[in-house]
Amino acid sequence: MEIKEMKRLLELTDPRRNKFIEKFQKSLNYYFNKNDITNRNNGESKTNSKGKDEPLRKADNRVSSNFHQLLVDQEAGYLATIPPAIDVEDDNLNSKIKSVLGDNFNLRMNQLVVNAANAGVAWVHYWIDEDNQFRYGIVPPGQVTPIYSNDLDRKLLALRRTYQELDPDTGKNYDVHEYWNDKTVTAFKSETTSYNNLSRIDNRFPIFDASSGDELGSSNVLEHGFGRIPFIAFPKNMYQRPDLFKYKGLIDVYDNVYNGFVNDVDDVQQVILILTNYGNEDFDEFMDTMKKYKAIKLDNTGPNDRSGLDKLTIDIPTEARNSLLEITKSDLFVEAQGIDPTDFATNNATGTAIKMLYSHLELKASMTESYFRDSLNELIRAIMQWLNVPGYEHIKINQKWTRTAIHNSLEDAQVIAQVANYSSDEAIAKANPIVDDWQEEMKNRRDDIVDGDGYGTDDNIKNVTDTGNEDE
> Can you give the pLDDT at residue 472?
36
Rounded Cα distance between 71 and 364, Å, is 11
Nearby residues of 392 by Cβ (< 8 Å), 6 or more positions away? 381, 384, 385
Query: Given pLDDT bands bounded at 50, 70 and 90, which one contains residue 211?
Result: low
> Can you give the pLDDT at residue 464?
40
Q: Is the pLDDT of residue 124 over 50?
A: yes
Can you tell me whether residue 472 is helix, strand or coil?
Answer: coil
Query: Given pLDDT bands bounded at 50, 70 and 90, which one contains residue 405?
Result: confident
> Can you give the pLDDT at residue 204?
85
Query: Given pLDDT bands bounded at 50, 70 and 90, which one contains residue 467?
Result: very low
Rounded Cα distance between 397 and 395, Å, is 6
Phi, psi of 233 (to 5 degrees): -85, 135
Q: Which tops the pLDDT comparison, 291 or 285?
A: 285
Average pLDDT, the chain: 84
Rounded Cα distance between 369 and 180, Å, is 27
- What average pLDDT score do residues 444-472 get? 52
Q: Which residues of 208-227 are buried (b: 16+ CB within 10 A; e: fewer)?
A: eeeeeeeeeeebbbbebeee
Percent of the chain having pLDDT more than 90?
54
> Can you give the pLDDT at residue 130?
85
Query: Given pLDDT bands bounded at 50, 70 and 90, which one contains residue 187?
Result: very high
Rounded Cα distance between 141 and 162, Å, is 10
Rounded Cα distance between 179 and 217, Å, is 21
Q: Is the pLDDT of residue 314 over 60?
A: no
Phi, psi of 296 (to 5 degrees): -140, 160
Could you tell me the pTM of the whole model?
A: 0.79
Beta bridge partners of 223: 184
Query: Given pLDDT bands bounded at 50, 70 and 90, which one contains residue 280?
Result: low
Q: Which of 256-270, 312-326, 354-368, 444-458 has the highest mean pLDDT?
A: 354-368
- What average pLDDT score do residues 41-45 get? 91
Report yes or no: 77 and 52 within 8 Å, Cβ to Cβ: no
Report yes or no: 82 and 404 within 8 Å, Cβ to Cβ: yes
Q: Which tops the pLDDT comparison, 277 or 437?
A: 437
> Can you give the pLDDT at residue 435?
77
Rounded Cα distance between 398 and 375, Å, is 13
Nearby residues of 133 by Cβ (< 8 Å), 6 or more positions away? none
> Can you give the pLDDT at residue 295?
61
* Long-range contacts from 38-42, C-beta under 8 angstroms, 24+ separation: 38/62, 38/64
Q: Which tops the pLDDT comparison, 163 or 210?
A: 163
> Can you give the pLDDT at residue 278?
59
> Can you give the pLDDT at residue 272?
55
What angle (nearest 5°) sits at the alpha carbon of residue 105, between those of residues 75 and 87? Answer: 95
Name the DSSP letter for residue 393. Answer: G
> Can you give the pLDDT at residue 39?
94
Rounded Cα distance between 257 and 250, Å, is 11
Can you tell me whether residue 316 is helix, strand or coil?
Answer: coil
> Can you give the pLDDT at residue 312?
53
- In DSSP notation, 140-164 reads PGGGEEEEE-SSTT--EEEEEEEEE
Pick from 242, 304, 241, 250: which is nearest to 277 by CA? 304
> Can you give the pLDDT at residue 319?
86
Query: Given pLDDT bands bounded at 50, 70 and 90, which one contains residue 462?
Result: very low
> Can you give the pLDDT at residue 192?
85
Poorest-confidence range of 105-119, 274-288, 419-433? 274-288
Report yes or no: 254 and 325 within 8 Å, Cβ to Cβ: yes
Report yes or no: 216 and 208 within 8 Å, Cβ to Cβ: yes
Rounded Cα distance between 192 and 194, Å, is 5
Query: Given pLDDT bands bounded at 50, 70 and 90, which one contains residue 44?
Result: very high
Element spanning 137, H or E: strand 134-139
